[in-house]
Amino acid sequence: MSLATILNWKSLQAREARLAWALILPTAIIVFGLVIFPAVFSVWVSFHDVGLNNLNDVFNAPFVGFDNYRKVFSDFAFKFQPGQSWGAAVTSVVYSFAATFMTIIVGLIASLLLNRPFRGRGLARAIFLFPYVAPIVSVAFVWRWISDPRPSGVVNDILMNLGLIDLPMAYLATRGLALGIVIFFEAWRYFPFAMLMILARLQAVDSTMYEAAEVDGASTVQKFWHITIPELRYVLGAIFLLRLMWTFNKFDDIFLLTGGGFGTKVLPVLTYEFSFRLFDFGRGAATAMILLIILVIFMAFYVSVVMRNVEEE
């Protein structure tokens, strides 16, 4: 290569890089300004006393050290009090894990249903996606209306006609039951995500393995446990991680279904209440940081222990 071509090539590369920066600059500014800086800034807020009174002069807010964190840890809505209330941290963890497990199991069943050909499969598949595609506000309020404690609430009517309950129940306004219904709702709404990921993987499984197993006289159940599940292991791990993360961060669902009452107060709802009901932004930011720390610790553990084992096998 002659010197001229090298120089020319270099200047071409420099031109490309300049163009790249020109193309990406607006996006980079927005991502920096609306995501990275706010994320760092919220750490700062969590160590300062920020309220409505000093919101227009936020950068001079007084430094309070770990006060906000101390306030959160001693708050009765956050604390774990055996026999009385789980507190937001424990509720969040229980809720996210249970909802994620349920979502994956329902998604697995749904994907097995849709994996074999039958008439109307395309339509069934489209219908199965409805809960995931519909707006959260609509589906949350439909669930509230269906489980309404008034006599016109349809779940109560059906269960009473079947003789399963004697009196109408307030499903979303009963401690314990409310958490169960919310977990149920999560599985109903988010199973299509798991279903689609599992279906894609199922269709890539080598069919000769099933044929070989049949020759060896394996039953359907044996084929499921010894071929399907091992083949799905990696994708199930990925779904678990994503769903857990998103469920843990989720605000809308619980806020709309129960408003965070009756033993369903999770960390995102508590963050909202501190910030936009009490307008104590410092305490809100501290709650959000605690939420993030729990999440990061879990993810680090999961990626380094669970996922590594999957890869090694």
Partner 1 sequence: MNAEPKNFIAHMTDWISWPRFIFSLVMIFFLTSILFPFYWMVSSSFKTRAEIGGREPVYIPSALRLEAYKELFDPEHESYQEFAANILNTFKVAVPSMVITLTLAVLGSYAIARLRFKGKNFLLNSILMVYLLPGVLLIIPLFAMLAQVGDRVGFEIQDNLSVLVFTYLAQTLPVALYMLTNYFRTIPDEIEQAALIDGCSRMQVIWRVTLPLAVPALISVGIYTFMIAWNEFLYALVFLNDHNMFTMPIKINTIFNDPSPRPHVVMAASTIMTVPIVLLFLSMERFLEEGLTAGGVKG
Site for partner 1 in 26-55 (CB under 8 A): 26-28, 30-32, 34-39, 41-42, 45, 50, 55
Residue number, 66 or 81, with CB nearest to partner 1: 66
Residues 143-182 that bind partner 1 (CB under 8 A): 143-146, 148, 150-154, 157
101 binds partner 1 (CB under 8 A): no
Measured CA to CA, the distance from residue 25 to residue 31 in angstroms comes to 10
Q: Which stretch binds partner 1 (CB under 8 A): 75-83, 97-105, 193-201, 303-311?
A: 193-201
Q: How far is the CB of 230 from partner 1 (least distance, A)?
A: 21
Torsion of CA 290, 295, 300, 305, to 10 degrees: 130
Contact present, 93 and 179 (Cβ < 8 Å):
no
Minimal CA–CA distance to 95: which of 259, 239, 250?
A: 250
User: Exposure string (b/e) for 213-224, b if CB count within 10 Å is 16 or more?
Assistant: beeeebeeeeee
- Residue 83 beta carbon to partner 1: minimum distance, rounded to whole angstroms: 29
78 binds partner 1 (CB under 8 A): no
Q: Which is nearer to partner 1, 31 or 310 (CB)?
A: 31
| Residue 23 in the binding site for partner 1 (CB under 8 A) | yes
Listed in sequence order, the residues at least 6 apart from 55 whose beta carbon sits closer than 8 Å to its beta carbon are 281
Residues 120-139 within binding reach of partner 1 (CB under 8 A): 124, 126-139
* 59 belongs to the binding site for partner 1 (CB under 8 A): yes
**How far is Cα 33 from Cα 40, in angstroms, rounded to an integer?**
11
- For residue 65, what are the contacts with CB-CB under 8 A and spacing of at least 6? 47
16 interacts with partner 1 by CB under 8 A: yes
DSSP bridge partners of 81:
85
Q: How far apart are CA 181 and CA 129, in angstroms?
A: 20
Whose Cβ is closer to partner 1: residue 73's or residue 132's? 132
Q: How far is the CB of 297 from partner 1 (least distance, A)?
A: 13
CB of 188 to partner 1, least distance (A): 7
Q: Give me the amino acid identity at 108.
A: L
Task: Give me the phi and psi of 75, to 5 degrees please.
Answer: -70, 135
Q: What's at 29, amino acid-wise?
A: I
Q: Which of 77, 90, 94, 109 binds partner 1 (CB under 8 A)?
A: 109
Q: Does 197 bind partner 1 (CB under 8 A)?
A: yes
- Asked if 245 contacts 219 with a C-beta cutoff of 8 angstroms, the reply is no
- Contact flag: residue 7 with partner 1 (CB under 8 A): no
* 16 vs 211, beta carbon nearer partner 1: 16
Site string for partner 1, 211-250 (x = CB under 8 A): ---------x------------------------xx-xxx
The 3-state DSSP class for residue 280 equals strand
Verify binding: residue 97, partner 1, rule CB under 8 A: no
Residues 251-270, interacting with partner 1 (CB under 8 A): 251-252, 255-256, 268
302 DSSP 8-state letter = I
